[in-house]
Amino acid sequence: MAKFQNPGAFFLGTLVAAEQKFLKPLIENARKNGYTRFVEPCAGAFAMAHLAVQAGYKPSEIETSDVAMFTTIMGYAITGQSLKELEIKAHGFTDEELLDPATALFAQLYLRAAKQAGKEYYYNIMMDLEYRREQHIKNINEQLQRARDVLHGMSYRPLDMWVHLDEVIDDPHTLVIANPPTYAAGFEKWYDTGGKMTWKEPEYKIFDPKTGLIELMRKCEDAKCLVICYEENEPGKTAGHPIFARYGVRNGINVYLTTNRPDEATALAKGKKVTRPNESKLNPLDCSILPRDYVITEKSKVQLCQVERSEAQYYRQLWTHNFVGSSAPINIAVLIDGKIAGVFGLDKSALTMGAFGTQVSNAVFLMYGMTVPHKEYRLNRLLTMLAQNEDFILSLCTDLEKEKAKTLKTVQMTKYPEAKEMRGIMKLTKKVPDKKYGFRLTYESDLVKRNEKETLKEWLWREERWKKQRAKSKSIS
Buried b (16+ CB within 10 A) or exposed e, 242-279: bbbeeeeeeeebbbbbbbbbeebbbbbbeeeebebeee
Q: What is the predicted pLDDT for the residue at 8?
A: 37
The CATH code that applies to domain 7-269 is 3.40.50
Torsion over CA: 463, 466, 470, 476 (sign): positive
Q: What is the predicted pLDDT for the residue at 261?
A: 92
Which CATH architecture does the domain made up of 302-476 adopt? 3-Layer(aba) Sandwich (3.40)
Would you state the torsion angle of the CA atoms of residues 101, 102, 103, 109, taken in this order, to the nearest 10 degrees? Answer: 110
* CB contact at 8 A, 156 and 43: yes
Residue 159 phi/psi, 5° resolution?
-150, 140
Rounded distance between C-alpha atoms, residue 392 and residue 172, angstroms: 30
14-22 — which CB contacts under 8 Å span 24+ positions?
A: 14/179, 14/182, 14/230, 14/232, 14/249, 14/255, 15/47, 15/48, 15/179, 15/230, 16/246, 18/246, 19/230, 19/244, 19/246, 19/255, 19/257, 20/47, 20/51, 22/244, 22/257, 22/269
- Angle in degrees, CA 105, 111, 112, rounded to 5: 90
Residues whose CB is less than 8 angstroms from the CB of residue 280 and which lie 6 or more positions away in sequence, other chains included:
170, 172, 224, 309, 310, 313
Q: Which of 352, 377, 379 is nearest to 363 (CA)?
A: 352
Residues whose CB is less than 8 angstroms from the CB of residue 424 and which lie 6 or more positions away in sequence, other chains included:
462
Q: pLDDT of the chain along its 477 residues, tens only?
A: 333 334 334 334 456 778 888 999 999 999 999 999 999 999 988 999 999 999 999 999 999 999 999 999 999 999 999 999 999 999 999 999 999 999 999 998 888 878 776 677 767 777 888 888 899 899 999 999 999 999 999 999 999 999 999 999 989 999 999 999 876 644 555 667 788 999 998 988 888 888 889 999 999 988 999 999 999 888 778 888 999 988 767 777 888 999 999 989 999 998 775 555 554 566 788 899 999 999 999 999 999 999 988 888 889 888 875 454 556 778 999 999 999 999 999 988 777 643 333 345 788 989 889 999 998 999 999 999 999 999 999 999 888 788 889 999 998 888 888 888 888 899 999 888 877 778 888 899 999 999 999 999 999 999 999 888 887 776 665
**Encoded amino acid at 241, one letter:** H
**Encoded amino acid at 471, one letter:** A
* CB contact at 8 A, 249 and 255: yes
Rounded distance between C-alpha atoms, residue 462 and residue 428, angstroms: 19
Q: What is the predicted pLDDT for the residue at 460?
A: 96
Describe the strand order of the beta sheet including 241-250 as a list of residue ranges.
Answer: 155-158, 62-66, 37-40, 174-178, 226-233, 253-259, 241-250
Task: Break the chain into its structural domains and give their ranges.
Answer: 7-269, 302-476
Q: What is the predicted pLDDT for the residue at 329?
A: 78
* CB contact at 8 A, 68 and 192: no
Q: What is the predicted pLDDT for the residue at 18?
A: 82
